[in-house]
Structure 1
Amino acid sequence: MAVHKLILESVFDEVDCTLIAIHSAIEDYRLTYLLNKQLGTNLTRKIPDLDFSAGKSTYSIFEWEDTMNLTTWNLVSNICKTEINKPQIINSLFDTEEKIIKTTYLVPEHKAVNYFLKIDSEFNLTKEKHILNKILQLHQVITAFSIDINQLKSKDNLIFS
């Protein structure tokens, strides 16, 4: 009897979603409000935050499930700043602990990006450009651009389910 082996690796390697990188200095809730107003979405804060390394780095995440178009929209922060105590090497007369701000990134390849808008649906190129142009119309957004998610080394960090 012949043994048949199916290799499905190439089927699951390709991710069908749109990823837009957003560089903006405003807070996440303010950006969410502006995107909801500009794009007609209904992104809401997802509780709990996206957690990596057992609470050492958490990223705010907003989600909207568009049941009419069968798409899921996620806005996630790329930057997490945590305050840690610096270990003291020598004992001094005044024992004070120094605190250090440690910055970690959800997608380390794009450290200049503040937020990622991930849309789990296969949009055609014109729809993606339309969304990108609407985001760029916001005065609070410095820049926004599309990223091919299949080219990212840390694309596993963008799986939110």
Structure 2
Amino acid sequence: MALHKLLVDDFDIETYSLLAIHCTLEDYRIAYLLNKQLQISLQRKQQDIDVQYTASSFPIYEWKDKNQQTIWNLVSNVCKKEEDSMASSGSLFETQNKILRTHNLIPEYKKVNYLLKINNDGNFINERAIIHKIQEMPQVAAVFSINVSQLKSKDNLIFN
């Protein structure tokens, strides 16, 4: 009887590019400007990305380019959530203190505001040209490529 082995490492090939974008704009505004600059059509998805049992929620925009067979996703890397304080004040009366807690989709890049993920399924994508076009936008402070193979939290980038 023949023994068949399935190597799981065969499926761990990154077929997407990941760009980090530094800017202070709201998510809908940066999506609009990227659509205009790159001639794409990012649209807000109905459901946000929930991480750690809805501890944080990240807005996501998507565009499926049928000509190039690519899927573009713009997702916020920062979620600020107001939570109740658990600290005891030591007084007779209860005081409700609120804390503004910051969560990151990719904790290794806490300073990055947005992530642009381009699923290319093995097709060629001119990453340099995309970075150059985004850098031309005056609202963007910086943009750079992220090496996905070195990310510890790359499971957070599975959107579908």
Scaled to the shorter chain, the TM-score interval is over 0.9
Residue 150 (structure 1) shift = 1.5
Aligned residues of 2:81 and 2:100 also touching (Cα < 8 A): yes
- 1:85 matched to 2:61? The reply is no
- Indicate the SS of the match to 1:109: helix
Instruction: Kindly report the root-mean-square deviation, in angstroms, between the aligned alpha carbons of the 2 structures.
Output: 1.5
**TM-score, normalised with respect to structure 2:** 0.93
Contact 2:23 2:142 in 1 (8 A): yes
| Displacement over 6 Å in runs of 4+ | none
* Matched position secondary structure for 1:54: coil
**What residue in structure 1 maps to residue 24 of structure 2?**
25
The answer on whether the counterparts of 2:89 and 2:95 sit within 8 Å (CA) in structure 1 is: no
Residue by residue, what CA displacement relative to the aligned partner does 1:72-92 show, whole Å, maximum 9, x if unpaired? 000000011111111242452
Q: Deviations over 1:59-111 (max 9, x none)?
A: 01000011111110000000111111112424525532110011111000001
Gaps of 5+ in 2: none
The residue identity in structure 2 corresponding to 1:134 is K
**What amino acid sits opposite 2:44 in the alignment?**
R
Q: Which amino acid aligns with 2:3?
A: V
Unmatched tracts of structure 1, length 5 or more: none
Cα distance in 1 for partners of 2:32, 2:134 equals 12
Counterpart of 1:15 in structure 2 is 14
Distance 1:56 1:50, change over 3 A: same
Structure 1: distance between partners of 2:94 and 2:3: 70
| C-alpha distance in 2 between matches for 1:33 and 1:40 | 10
What TM-score do you get using the length of structure 1 for normalisation? 0.92
Cα distance in 1 between the residues matched to 2:43 and 2:2: 53
SS of the aligned residue for 2:102 comes to strand
Give me the whole-angstrom Cα distance separating, in 1, the residues matched to 2:41 and 2:4. Answer: 47
| Identical pairs, percent | 49
